[in-house]
């Protein structure tokens, strides 16, 4: 596998790892019980430059390429809490990329810069009760009245939703225009008429808040329109590539970490007079899983290289070929990560089924990946479409 990392990347990687291991991991059991982690995590990540390393310097970023974000995603998993990692990645790689791509200088000053500093928490508002992977079915509307958009509707499954300071919000601005009737608004959550309907209880990612949101004729100024009206669907499809790619990188890194920790267990655990790892049945299984994990990582790196070249070198929109690679990576990583998580539970035996060990949490947390940001079934549709099938 080629190595895209420079010395600067590796120094940044160490910063991310130290943050995850020394500052996050000691607290995650408490945060999992509480169902939330504190705001200082965002602020600290911002201060360390973790949130903005791959954003332009003029907006408070580090000016680096996309490999900085890949390195970050690979190291944060050592916090041992998928919920914390997901919330931070929403902040840095899901709710904010389109602001950097499309925002006016004023919008970047008001929203992007404080988000990269960790001072304002960001959320991405796309999914609705009747529109998850089927984004085109979104019903939240924003109609123009004078110098405002009036937003009405609801969103669900929104990470950071209970405490976001602003939402990068997909709405319908022209219900009659099909795919050309969507727009993206930057929506401050202190807007009158906005409310958190409820905090959602989830199978995994307990330390991350996930919410159902309601918009009751909320008025936001038209200056908060991101990009052009009517192009929101196209913008979102581009933004999804970042979300899927960084999710794939994080998920396969977490799978490798699960294998690494499982091997430590297997070396110490004595079964039938010898370490568990010395039994051939487990040696063969581990060999198979490491092979699949390496293949999945290689696919993610190939997609990341194409994405980095188009977005950070040539400054182009993501091509169909890269969309296909990213979709393939997400599909394959989802299957491999699920297989590794199941192995980890089985390999640890009864201990793997107890909440007191890391294994059960990992099993629960990683399961979301085959659903979020487009389900595995949708990835197959995208792959087929980009192949001309």
List the catalytic residues.
Answer: 243
Number of Cβ atoms within 10 Å of the Cβ of 11: 10
> For helices 358-366 and 82-89, what crossing angle results, to 10°?
40
What phi and psi values does residue 95 have, to the nearest 5 degrees?
Answer: -90, -15
* DSSP string for 104-121: -HHHIIIIIHHHHTTSS-
Buried b (16+ CB within 10 A) or exposed e, 352-371: beeeebbbbbbbbbbbbbbe
Contact 376, 132 (CB under 8 A): no
Strands 270-271 and 166-172: unpaired
Contact 83, 207 (CB under 8 A): yes
Q: Which two tokens stand for residue 375?
A: 């389900």
Q: Which two tokens stand for residue 261?
A: 């920790």
Distance CA 39, CA 219 (A): 27
**Which residues partner with 274 through β-bridges?**
271
Helix (H) or strand (E) holding 268: helix 232-268
* DSSP string for 217-242: EEEEEGGGEESSTT-HHHHHHHHHHH
Residues in the chain: 389
CA distances from 146 to 49, 211, 220, 269, 372 (A): 40, 31, 11, 70, 37
């Amino acid at each position: 596998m080629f190595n895209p990392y420079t010395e600067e990347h590796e120094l940044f990687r160490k910063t991310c790892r130290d943050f995850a291991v020394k500052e996050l991991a000691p607290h995650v059991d408490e945060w999992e019980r509480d169902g939330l982690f504190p705001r200082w995590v965002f602020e600290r990540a911002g201060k360390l430059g973790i949130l903005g390393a791959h954003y332009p310097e003029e907006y408070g970023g580090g000016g680096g390429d996309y490999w900085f974000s890949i390195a970050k995603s690979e190291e944060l998993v050592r916090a041992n809490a998928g919920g914390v990692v997901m919330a931070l990645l929403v902040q840095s790689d899901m709710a904010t990329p389109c602001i950097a791509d499309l925002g006016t200088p004023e919008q970047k000053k008001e929203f992007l810069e404080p988000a990269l500093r960790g001072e304002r928490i960001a959320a991405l508002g796309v999914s609705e009760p009747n529109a998850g992977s089927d984004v085109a079915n979104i019903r939240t509307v924003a109609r123009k009245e004078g110098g405002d958009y009036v937003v009405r509707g609801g969103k669900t499954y929104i990470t950071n939703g209970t405490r976001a300071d602003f939402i990068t919000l997909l709405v319908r601005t022209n219900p009659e225009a099909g795919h050309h009737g969507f727009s993206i608004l930057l929506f401050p959550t202190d807007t009158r008429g906005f409310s958190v309907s409820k905090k959602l209880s989830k199978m995994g990612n307990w330390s991350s808040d996930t919410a159902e949101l309601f918009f009751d004729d909320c008025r936001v100024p038209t200056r908060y329109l991101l990009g052009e009206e009517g192009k929101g669907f196209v913008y979102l499809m581009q933004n999804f590539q970042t979300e899927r790619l960084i999710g794939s990188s994080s998920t396969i890194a977490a799978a490798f970490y699960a294998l690494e920790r499982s091997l430590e267990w297997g070396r110490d655990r004595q079964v039938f007079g010898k370490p568990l790892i010395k039994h051939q049945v487990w040696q063969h299984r581990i060999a198979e899983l490491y092979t699949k994990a390496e293949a999945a990582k290689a696919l993610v790196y190939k997609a990341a290289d194409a994405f980095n070249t188009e977005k950070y070198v040539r400054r182009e929109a993501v091509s169909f070929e890269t969309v296909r690679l990213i979709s393939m990576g997400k599909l394959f990583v989802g299957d491999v990560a699920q297989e590794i998580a199941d192995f980890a539970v089985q390999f640890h035996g009864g201990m793997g089924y107890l909440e007191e060990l890391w294994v059960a949490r990992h099993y629960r947390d990683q399961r979301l990946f085959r659903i979020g940001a487009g389900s595995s079934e949708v990835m197959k549709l995208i792959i087929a479409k980009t192949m001309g099938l």
